[in-house]
Homo-oligomer: A and B are copies of this chain.
């Protein structure tokens, strides 16, 4: 039942973002009276928080799937593959934001009282940030990224991609035509590439 409410909330969030996950509607979908939800969640915010986590997990899944499509395996020292996986991490993030704007917005709409968990850890994990870190670590392994520049570099990269996703999805650029979106994406990803890669020519993506 808890699961059902979260699933219903996810459906609502997909269609209309975090504001659309309304408690009464979720219970209606599950086929139960509104107050039943209060057996499983303290209030609407707690339901929303669960839905947000689920949405974030969706984003993580999407990224993992996209990375897995790149030939080769992590740790085999293939620079092309490492670069490809890094690119896949960024592209998957942007594609998810584009194709599932409601879920993307919801993933980052955790209510104030419910703290984000992901940030503290430094090791790689299934979260979007964890996967970004894994990709960057691999770039260092294959020599595409100076080890000295690695520390903390995930934050500028994350900021840049996230900023683009937000500006394109909900921000002032949301009305931009497809052509402009492509150009913007190329420019932004290129900017990140320049900022990351060592002087050596990057393998083309």
Contacts and interface: CB of A to CB of B under 8 A. Distances in A.
B152 A163 contact: no
Contact of A161 (B119, B161, B163, B170): B163
Contacts of A188: 155-156, 159
B171 A162 contact: yes
Interface in A148-205: 152-153, 155-156, 158-164, 166-167, 170-176, 183-184, 187-188, 190-192, 194-195
A183 B154 CA distance: 13
Nearest to A184: B155
A33 interface: no
Contacts of A108: 166, 170-172
Contacts of A176: 119
A1 interface: no
Instruction: Determine how many copies of this chain the complex contains.
Output: 2
Contacts of A119: 172-173, 175-176
A131 to B, nearest CB: 14
A125 to B, nearest CB: 13
Contacts of A155: 164, 184, 187-188
A23 to B, nearest CB: 16
A194 B195 contact: yes
A115 interface: yes
Given A152-B183, A153-B191, A160-B163, 15 more contacts: A19-B19, A108-B171, A110-B172, A116-B175, A119-B172, A119-B173, A153-B187, A155-B187, A156-B187, A156-B190, A156-B192, A159-B159, A163-B163, A191-B195, A195-B195
Interface of A: 19, 108, 110, 115-116, 118-119, 129, 152-153, 155-156, 158-164, 166-167, 170-176, 183-184, 187-188, 190-192, 194-195
